[in-house]
Amino acid sequence: MDDLWYQMIFKRKSFHIFKDRQTISDIELRNIEENIKNFKSLDEGIKTAFQIVPAGKTSCKRGEEYCILLYSEKKGDYLRNIGYIGEQLDLYLASLNIGALWFGIGKTDAGNYNGLDFVIMIAIARVEESKFRKDMFKSKRKPLEQIWEGNCYQEIGNIVRFAPSACNTQPWKVVAEENKLTVYRYKQPGKRGIMPAAKVAYYNRIDMGIFLLFLELCLAHEGLRFERALFADADDDSAEMTLAAVYLIG
């Protein structure tokens, strides 16, 4: 993966309101559409598609110029897969000084595209570079000890904990051992922010894909080779801890 994306971890931010936006050119839009085709999936067997539409064609009203609609087959861990691909888009956009917002509650009349179902949208607008994050470590996130068990690879843990998530729920826990990271989707009892209870698992599964991308970018940046094993996220959402992935390092 491009180490530029690792650097964008420190720059990106969620633009909840776009102020003093600038215009994204047609050439830039075409480049975005072309680059999306090159992003990696967690599961190449799941079909996905993306469509850039004017903001007025969605329910999002945050001052954005466009929304990128993310579509997928509804099979396997398609939500985690979309999170993984979509976060590559988020970081890529940051490198172009295009601000982005994962907009989970957004609606669109284009609920189906190329036979695939709408999953989520990302609102975008060009902004001044000065509006991006200056110091990631001032962002509000859980302390490392709440998401990272064990003394190994803590320098990586201290970066990946800044992965974006729905309502900042940060639904992940990692057990770190020598040459091994075990990643869980964590459902904190009674904690869901402002999300409707029925939607928590939906968005947190997307969040896990975002988190796995951050983790892999950090491993690659540190020059650590790894083998990844993914585990199906069962439909039963009663468990507090759900195994998501195991990374064997070295």
Radius of gyration of the chain (CA): 17
Instruction: Let me know whether 110 and 144 are in one domain.
Output: no
Last-in-domain residue among 131, 162, 191: 131
Bridge partner list, 148: 174
150 and 88 share one domain: no
| HSE (side-chain half, CA atoms, 13 Å) at 241 | 9
Q: Where does a domain end: 91, 112, 131?
A: 131
Q: What is the CATH number of the domain that holds 216?
A: 3.40.109.30
Same domain, 229 and 149: yes
Give me the pLDDT at residue 198, please. Answer: 76
Count: domains in the chain = 2
> Which CATH number covers residue 92?
3.40.109.10
Instruction: Tell me the C-alpha distance between 159 and 220, whole Å.
Output: 13
Q: What pLDDT was estimated at residue 20?
A: 87
* Shared-domain flag, residues 144 and 122: no
In this structure, the answer to whether residues 111 and 165 fall within a common structural domain is no
pLDDT at 120: 97
**Amino acid 118: pLDDT:** 97
- The low-confidence residues of the chain, meaning pLDDT below 50, are none
Q: Which of residues 110, 131, 152 is at a domain's end?
A: 131
Which secondary structure element, helix H or strand E, spans residue 87, and what is its range? helix 78-95
- Rounded Cα distance, 97 and 192, in Å: 31
Q: Is the pTM of this model over 0.85?
A: yes
Calculate the dihedral angle through the C-alpha atoms of 31, 5, 107, 45, rounding to the nearest 10 degrees. Answer: 90
Q: Which residue has the tokens 């936006």?
A: 21
pLDDT value of position 105: 86
> Both 207 and 119 in a single domain?
no
Domain around 126: 3-131
Kindly state the DSSP code that residue 78 receives in the 8-state scheme.
Answer: H
The reported pLDDT for the residue numbered 22 is 93
Residues 152, 177: contact at Cβ < 8 Å? yes
Whole-angstrom distance, CA of residue 207 vs CA of residue 218? 17
Residues 64 and 114 in one domain: yes
For the residues of 140-179, what is the DSSP string, one character each? ----HHHHEESSTTHHHHHHHTT---GGG---EEEEEETT
